[in-house]
Structure 1
Amino acid sequence: MLNWIWTWLRPYKLRLVGALIALIFTAGITLALGQGVRLMIDRGFVEGSVEGLQQALFFFLTLVVAMSIGAYCRFYLVSWLGERVVADIRSQLYQHLITLPPSFFEENLSGEIQSRITTDTTLLQSVIGSSVSFALRNVLIFVGGLVLMLVSNLKLSLIVLFTVPVVIFPLLFFGRKVRKLSRDSQDKVADVGAWAGESLLHIRIVQAFNGEPHVTERFNGSVESAFQVALRRIRQRAVLIALVMLLVLGAVGGMLYIGGTDVLAGRLSGGDLAAFLFYAIVVAGSLAAVTEVYGELQRAAGAADRLRELMAVDPEIQSPSQPHSVNEVQGRLSLQNIDFRYPSRPESLALSGLDLDIKAGERIALVGPSGAGKSTLFDLLLRFRDPEQGLITLDGAPLKDLALDELRSQFALVPQQPVLFSASIRENLRYGAPDATDEEIEQAAIAAHADEFIRQMPEGYDSLLGEQGVKISGGQRQRLAIARAILRDPKILLLDEATSALDAESEYKVQQALDQLMEGRTTLVIAHRLATIAHVDRIVVMDQGKVVASGTHDQLLSQSPLYRRLAELQFRAA
C-alpha cells in the first residue's frame, strides 16, 4: 500500500520533505524533554537550588515552544498532503470510471462503486494525513528513546528491550487478520450503502407496494452483517492493544523496581532514574501507538486494495492508438454479418448474421417484438459494445478505427426513458452542445415544444430538476431529451420511442419538430407504435437478432407475416 501511495506523493516531494523535517524536529524535541526533567530534579529538587530550578524550567519551556511550532508545521504539511493526494486519487478514479463501458456498470452496483470513491478514499486521507506521520513520529521516538536509554543505563534498557520481540510477533500475526477483516468490513458497508441508495431512489415503488417492511428488514440485515464483521475486526485489535500494554508496562514496572533499588543504594541519581523512566514511558507509548496505527494501516490497506482493483479494470472499448479521421461525415452506415451476445447470456445470440445498409440522410424505422435486437443495434453503433463478428462502418470507415469522442459526436440519442441530471434545465440541455449560447438553448426548447412549460417553472431555464428529473412529468422529460438532441445538431439521430411518453397533442407537435430535425440527417427510429413511423423512408423488421424484412408500410403488409401481425394487433386495439 505504501508503495502505491508513494506514486501519488511523488509530485509533492518538497512538501513531503518539509513534513519529514518537521516530524524529525518534533520527535527530537520530545526526546530532549527527558533532559529537562532530569535537570529539574537533579539541579532543582535534589540540590535545593531555586536558580537551578528556574534554569531547568526555562530550558523545558523553550523546548515546549519549539515543539509546538514544529507540531504546527508537521500537522499542516501532512494534512495538506493527505487532502491533496486523496483529491488526486478521486479525480483520476472518476476519470477512469467514466471511460468504462455501460456493461461494467450493469454488472457492478453503482452504490458500491460510490462507496469506494467516497468512504475508501476518506479512510486513505485519514491514514496519509495523520496515521502515517503519527506512526513515523512514534517510530523515531521509539528508536531515539531506545538509544538514549542504552546510553544512560544498559541494565535497565535490557529489561525494556526484552519485551520488543515479544510485542512485534503478535503485531504481525494480528495485523494480517485485521487487514482481511477490514476488507470484509468495507465490502459490507458498501453493500449497505448500495441497497440504501437503490431503495431511496425508487421510493415511490417501495411505498406504492407497501414494501417498507421488506426493504427495512433487508437493510437491517445488511447493517447487522457489517456490524458483525466490524466486531470481529475490533476484537482482534483490542486483543492486540491489550497484549502490548500488558507486556510493555509490565517491563516498565520491573525496570522501576530495579532502578529504585539502585537509587536507594546510591548507584543512580533520582534525576537519571526520572529521565530514564520518561524515556521508557515514551518508548512504551510510542510502541503502543504504532500498534494502534498498524491496525489503521491495515484498514487503509484494505481500502487501497479496493481502489487499486477498480483502477486496474481496463475499458473493453477504447479509442485506437492511431485513429482514422473522418473530415466530412455524410452519415452512411453499414452493418455486415454482425454477431453479438451479451456476457450474461452467452448461450444465445442477441444479433445473428445481421446485414443492414443505410444511406446518408435515409430515415429508417426498426420494428419487431421485444428482444429482437433493436436497442442492441444502437449500443453497437455508439460503441458501447463491440460485435463478436462482423464489421460496422461509418462512411466506409470501420467504427473501431475512429476515436470514440469523434464517433459519438456524430450521434444524438433520445432514449425511451429520458435521462436527466440533478442540475438546472439549462445545464441538462447543454449536454447536447457544451458551447451553446442561451439563445440557441431556448431555440432548441421551442423546437421541441418545451419552452412553454419551462417558462412556467419558478426559475425558468435555471430551475433545478431534482434527481433524474423527478420534479417534472414523463412527457416533459421526453421533450427536454428531444431538445437536447436538437441542440446537438448531429449527422445521425437515434430515436428510441422518442414520443412514447407524450400525450396526443404534444406528440403531434414534437413529431413535427422531429420531422424537421430529420431532414438531411441519417435517422434510426425504434418504434413499437407503427403510427409514429409514417414519414420514414424504409421500415426494417427485426426478429431474433436478424433482419427478416425491409420496405415500405404497404410492401411489408403484403410481404412480411410478422409485420402484418404486429400491424393487425395494433390497429385492432385502436
Structure 2
Amino acid sequence: MARPKIENDLPKAKINAYSLKKAWQLFSYGKNHRWKFYIGLLFLLLTSGTALAFPKLIGLLVDCAKNKDLVQANYLSLMLVGILILQSVFSFFRLSLFINFTENTLANIRLALYSNLIKLPMTFFSQKRVGELNSRLSSDIAQIQDTLTTTIAEFLRQFILIIGGVVFLAVISIKLTLMMLSIVPLVAVAAVIFGRFIRKYSKKTQDTIAESQVIVEETLQGISNVKAFANEWYEIARYSAKIKEIVKIAIKGGQYRGYFASFIILCLFGSIVAVVWFGVTLIISGDMKDVGQLISFVLYSIFVGASFGGIAELYAQIQKAIGATERVFELLDEQPENINSIQKQQTQKLKGEVEFKNVAFSYPSRKEIQVLDNVSFSAGFGQKVALVGPSGAGKSTISSLLLRFYDIDSGEILIDGKNIFDYELEDLRGNMSIVPQDVILFGGSIRENIAYGKPDATEEEIFLAAKQANALNFINGFPEKFETLVGERGIKLSGGQRQRIAIARALLKNPAILILDEATSSLDSESEKLVQEALEILMEGRTSIIIAHRLSTIRKADKILVLDKGTIIEEGTHNELLEIENGLYKNLSSLQFSNS
C-alpha cells in the first residue's frame, strides 16, 4: 500500500568552532557586497537601542500624570513618536541591506555550487541520488536564505534585548529583577516547549488525514478492482477505521491545546501579576520610587520574557542553517574534473584511431565485481566496430571508459596512439558523440536541442544536420517547425523522432569518434529504417563504436567483438563469426533470426 510522503524537518548541526568556521565561509561569497551586511548590523543595533529606550520613556510619561507636568508629557510623547519613526527607518534599512546582501551572496553560492556540481566526475553521480542533489540547491539554500535575511538579525536583536533589558531592570530594582528572572524566563521557555509539542501533535493529525486520503485515492484509482471483487464494504471499513483514528488524535490534540491555553492564562499572565504585585509592595515599602518605574519594569520584563521565548526557536533555525551550510560545502569541496574555466573556442581535431590495451575495470561502488578483464582491441580510422554480448558483459562500460567517465584500474586506452589521460577533457570529449538507446532531450525547442552539439552553429548547419538525420520531414510537419518545444525530456516527440534529433545533434558536432549505444533497439520497424538510414550517413568518414542487441544492424560492421563476463571471447566479421562452431555470436544470431 502506498504511504504518504512525510517531509522531515532539516536536520540540525551542533554549533562548535568547526561548524562556525564553515558557516563563516558563506560570507566570502558576499564578495563586494559584505559592507551591506555590516551596515545592516549597525542599523540592527540602532533598532534594538531605540526599542530599549521605549519602556523607559513610557514610565516617565506615566509619572507626568502624578507630577501634573503637561509640558514634560508633551515632550516625552514627541520623543516616543520620534523613536517610533526612527525604528521604522532603521528597520527598513536593516531589512533592505540584509536582503540585498543575502540575495547577492546566495546567487554566487548557487552559481558556484551548480558549476562545481556539473563538473564532478561520473563516479560522484553514480553514488548520489538526483533528489538529494536537488535538495542541496533548493531546501538547503532556502534555509540559508531565511537565516541570513531574518534569523541572524532577529537572534542578535533578541539577544541585545535580553542583555539590555536585564541591565535596565537591574538599574530600576535588583530585588524585583531577581524575582522576575526566577519566574518569567522559565515560564516563557516552558511555553515555547509546550507550543512545539502541540505543533508536533498537530502534524501527527495532518499525517493521519493524509493517510486517509491515500485510501480514497487508491480506492478510486482501482475502482474496477473494488467492484470486481465486491469489496465495497471492505474499503468502507478500512476508511472508517482511519477516520476514527483521526477523530481520536484530533480530540487528544484539542485537549492539549486546552491545557496550553490554561497554561498561558495561569502561568504567563500569573507571572506578570506576581511581578506587578511585588513591584507594588516595593513602592509601598519605599524600595521603588513610583508607578512609572513599575510600568517600565513590567514592559522590560515582557521584552525579556518574549525574547527568552523566541531565542530558543531562532537558535534551532540557526542550527539548521549551519547544517545546511555544511552540506552545501560538502558539494563545493568535492573535487571536479579537470575542465577549463573558460570555454575553448577550438578543440584539437583528432583522427579517431582507438586502441584498448589489456584494460581492466571495476566500478568504484562495486570494486569486488570485475566488469572488464584484460580487454584489448583496436578500431582504425573510419572503421565500424560492433560490441555484442549478453547484458552485463561490459559493452556500455567500454563507451563510458572511452569518454573518460571513469578511470581504468589497469591497462591503456589510446587515441591516435596517445593515452587518453594525456588529452584535455574538452579535446577528448569534443571529438566524440554518443547516440544512446534512451535519448533525453532538454526542455527547449528542436533547434536548441540540435544546436546542443554545436552552440554557435548557423541556421544552414542546423538545417543540413536535420536533413541528413531524416528529421526534416517531421520537423516541418509541426506548425512551429524548428521552434517546436519538445517538452520535458522530449516527451512530446516519439522515440524515433528523439533518436533522429540526437543523430542531428551528433552530425552537427562532426565527431571523430561516434558511439552508438543500442540506438535502434527500442524502435518500431518504420522508425528503425529511418534512423538506420540516418546512422549510415552519420558513420561515414569517422570511427564508430556500435553497441548492439539487434545483430541485423551490424552485419556490415568491419569488426565485431563478442563480450562475455568482461572478456572478448570472439572477434571477426559477421561471416567469420558465423563459422565458429558453438560460438556465442552464432548462437545469438540463430536465436534472433529464427524468431524474426
Which range, TM-score by smaller chain?
0.7 to 0.9
The amino acid across from 2:468 in the alignment is A
Deviation at 1:448, TM superposition (A): 0.5
SS at match of 2:359: strand
SS of 1:387 mapped into structure 2: coil
Does the 8 A contact of 1:539 with 1:553 survive in 2? yes
Match of 2:167 among 135, 139, 147: 147
- SS of 1:107's equivalent in the other structure is coil
What's the CA shift for 1:20? 0.4
State the 1:318 CA deviation: 4.9
Counterpart pick for 2:156 among 132, 136, 140: 136
Q: Is the 8 A contact 2:188 2:268 kept in 1?
A: no
Q: CA deviation at 1:485?
A: 0.7
- Whichever residue aligns with residue 91 of structure 1, its letter is L
Identity, % of aligned pairs?
38
Q: State the alpha-carbon separation in 2 of the partners of residues 242 and 478 from structure 1.
A: 68
Q: Quote the Cα distance in structure 2 between the aligned partners of 1:160 and 1:505.
A: 86
Checking the alignment, whether the CA contact within 8 Å between 1:241 and 1:291 is kept in structure 2 is no
Determine which of 140, 143, 152 is the counterpart of 1:123.
143
Q: CA contact under 8 A between 2:354 and 2:413: conserved in structure 1?
A: yes
Q: Identify the residue that residue 566 of structure 1 maps to in structure 2.
A: 588
Matched residue type, 2:27? L
Q: Secondary structure at the match of 1:268?
A: coil
Q: CA deviation at 1:405?
A: 2.5
In 2, the alpha carbon distance for the partners of 1:64 and 1:320 equals 55
The size of the alignment, in residue pairs, is 519
Q: Secondary structure at the match of 2:350?
A: coil
2:293 aligned to 269, 272, 278, which one? 272
What stretches of structure 1 of length at least 5 have no aligned partner?
A: 197-205, 211-238
Structure 1 position 428, deviation (Å): 1.5
Which consecutive residues of structure 2, in runs of 5 or more, have no partner in the other structure?
1-18, 215-220, 226-258
What residue identity is the alignment partner of 2:116? Answer: H
> Which deviations, in whole Å up to 9, do the C-alpha atoms of 1:74-128 show, x marking residues without a partner?
1111222333333333322222222233444343332232223212221221121
Q: Relative to structure 1, is the Cα distance of residues 537 and 516 closer, same or farther in structure 2, using a 3 angstrom cutoff?
A: same
Equivalent position of 1:218 in the other structure: none
Q: Distance in 2 between matches of 1:64 and 1:375?
A: 70
How has the CA–CA distance of structure 1 residues 245 and 327 changed in structure 2, closer, same or farther, with 3 Å as cutoff? farther
Contact 2:189 2:309 in 1 (8 A): no
Name the SS of the counterpart of 1:158 in structure 2: helix
Classify 1:250/1:491 alpha carbon distance in 2 versus 1 (closer, same or farther; 3 Å).
farther
Counterpart position of 2:420: 399
| In structure 2, C-alpha distance between the alignment counterparts of 1:375 and 1:409, rounded to whole Å | 19
The alpha-carbon distance between structure 1 residues 290 and 397, as it changes in their structure 2 partners (threshold 3 A), is same
Equivalent of residue 428 in structure 1, options 436, 449, 453: 449
Q: Residue in 2 aligned with 1:489? A: 510
Query: In the alignment, which residue of structure 1 is the partner of 2:22?
Result: 4
2:82 aligned to which of 51, 54, 62: 62
Task: Give the stretch that moved more between structures: 359-368 or 477-486.
Answer: 359-368
Change (3 A) 1:328 1:464: closer
**CA offset digits 1:5-61 (Å, max 9, x no partner):** 322223232011111011011011111112320231122x11223333222211110
TM-score by length of 1: 0.81
Q: What do you get for the CA RMSD once the two structures are aligned? A: 3.7
> How far apart, in 2, do the equivalents of 1:435 and 1:480 lie?
17
1:492 offset after TM fit, Å?
Answer: 0.7
Contact 2:503 2:534 in 1 (8 A): no
Against the structure 1 CA distance between its residues 46 and 438, is the aligned structure 2 distance closer, same or farther, given a 3 Å change threshold?
A: farther
CA contact (8 A) 1:448 1:513 kept: yes
Identify the match of residue 51 of structure 2 among 30, 33, 37: 30
Q: Distance in 2 between matches of 1:336 and 1:112?
A: 38
**Alpha-carbon distance in structure 1 between the residues aligned to 2:511 and 2:284:** 94
Query: CA distance change for structure 1 residues 461 and 166 in 2, over 3 Å: closer, same or farther?
Result: same
**Does 2:178 match 1:158?**
yes
Q: CA deviation at 1:472?
A: 1.3
Paired amino acid for 1:475: G
Q: How do residues 275-290 of structure 1 correspond to structure 2 at under 5 angstroms?
A: 275-290=296-311
Structure 1 counterpart of 2:73: 53
What code does the residue aligned with 2:506 have? A
TM-score between both structures, scaled by the size of structure 2: 0.78
1:456-535 correspondence runs (5 A): 456-535=477-556
Taking the aligned partners of 2:294 and 2:420, their CA distance within structure 1 comes to 80
What's the counterpart of residue 451 of structure 1?
472
The answer to whether the 8 Å contact 1:492/1:523 transfers is yes
When residues 384 and 46 of structure 1 are mapped into structure 2, their CA distance, relative to the original with a 3 A threshold, is same
SS in 2 for 1:430: helix
1:352 and 2:346 equivalent?
no
Q: Distance in 1 between matches of 2:490 and 2:332?
A: 31
Which residue is 2:574 aligned to? 553
Amino acid at match of 2:162: F
8 Å Cα contact 1:34/1:279 also seen in 2:
yes
* Matches of 1:30 and 1:544, distance apart in 2: 75
Mapped partners of 1:27, 1:241: distance in 2? 30
Q: Which amino acid aligns with 2:25?
A: T
Instruction: Tell whether 2:47 aligns with 1:39.
Output: no
The DSSP-based 3-state class of the residue aligned with 2:396 is helix
Alignment check: 8 A CA contact 2:470 2:530 kept: yes
**Letter in structure 2 aligned against 1:289:** G
Are residues 1:381 and 2:418 paired?
no
For the Cα contact (< 8 Å) 2:353–2:379, is it kept in 1?
A: yes
